[in-house]
Structure 1
Amino acid sequence: MINNKSSFMKGLLLLVSFAAVFVVIMTPVFPTDSGKKENGLHYADDLFNKLSKGSSYFIPEVQKKVDGLAGKQIDLAVTVKKADKAADAAKVFTAAGMTATAEGEILKVKGDLGALLSATVKDADSMYHNDAAAVSARYGMEAADAMEASWEAYAGMIKALQKAKLIPESQAVDMVMKKAIEPGYNFYGINAAKVTDKMGIMTGLLVFYVIYTMWYGFAIFELFEGIGLTMKKSKVKQEA
């Protein structure tokens, strides 16, 4: 039963228009860099991924840290959780100038840690710039496999370095993993964008999100008002 026709019609209009906009959002009409059109959710997700990548380029900072380890010799037995990754890591590390062999999950590594980390930073930089072919050419395997193998090996190497009381070296390896390998691997295939270059559209999306959320809220409020469902403050019971 409609108690307030004006409120009900206002709420209905808001709800119908909300649904119409939702249909547009879910329709692939938004152009992307590749020329392919996506729906609004994918478009927004792609935009924020680009902005995230644009703010995750730490290669110069990492390289500066790694440069301080130039000539630092290590001789370690590293436990790699995945045996198949140990074999791949041995191949990658050997190509980087190390003496590396894998027996099951044990990876034996000997050589210049600084040179090894520099090679990994170079790989991560290539991946960040979407140049997987360069990484594949260096190791004769898929770029993703090479990066995964390096990450797994470094995860075990940190523990080995800490056990050998080489704390600064372990911190450098951790930095390479988190600020070089992970951004390069995770953001591969995404074009980086700066917030300053996308400020207008980013602000527009955030403002639209707030308005669109309130839009639905007011629609429901007016509909309930129209059918007589309202909330009123209860009266305080007076004690005798």
Structure 2
Amino acid sequence: MDRIDTGRAHPARVYDYVLGGKDHYAVDVEAGDAMIESWPSLPVSMRQNRLFMERAARHLAREAGIRQFLDIGTGLPTSPNLHEVVQRERPDASVVYVDNDPIVLRHAEALLTSSPEGRTAYLDADMREPGTILGSAAVRELFDPGQPVALTVIAMLHFIRPPDDYALVRRLLDPLPPGSFLAISTATADFAPEEISRVVREYESRGIPMVPRSAAEVGAFFEGLELVGPGLTQVHRWRPEAAQEGVAPAEVAMYGAVARKP
């Protein structure tokens, strides 16, 4: 646990604070409060991103029949977690969570308990090392290499600067079998440019890079893939349910999409 830096804000802990969690430090509270002051809709946007993850995961398990999930940038456990969503639909599903923050590891080991039929593992690794992830014991032991995988990269890519971002996603996706899926959500300034610019400055003033992307820039992650309807859209507009009613476009600064690898 020596790697935990309580003197600097961490994106996962800020996210936890804004969503009303309890696994954060004073520095994360200060950062979260500053960001909310810059853009009061930040909690709405983050909640809608979380709900997008749930709907996308449910679709992949229920309708696409996926039983193997590789989740990059897990963040702090916030129920329902991805494995809880997918194992309700497919109790025998296997989920490998990937993150490189020690506080996430501590909570993941305590809280990410699989269904009896399924399997769940946590991998302490960096997204910038796709070979380490795909060659890990967790992936080898939990996944059938001949079966499709859902690669989920939720609210992570806006912390990766170009051009590394596109290459990293491809290096994770290319080895996966045909019929695999890619689910992404990432930040945009398309709908509240001034407000998001202020949030970006708050992140970067704390040494956290943040790169909002246009629709075209997010769409480039899905080149060569088959987008699942409704395609690339703000996260609250992707297969909306009751929890998305009344949410205004200017309150959501996240694009999301799900696509199939042919």
TM-score interval, smaller chain: under 0.3
Larger strand fraction of residues:
2
Provide the TM-score with structure 1 as the length reference: 0.25
| Structure possessing the higher radius of gyration over alpha carbons | 1
Provide the TM-score with structure 2 as the length reference: 0.24
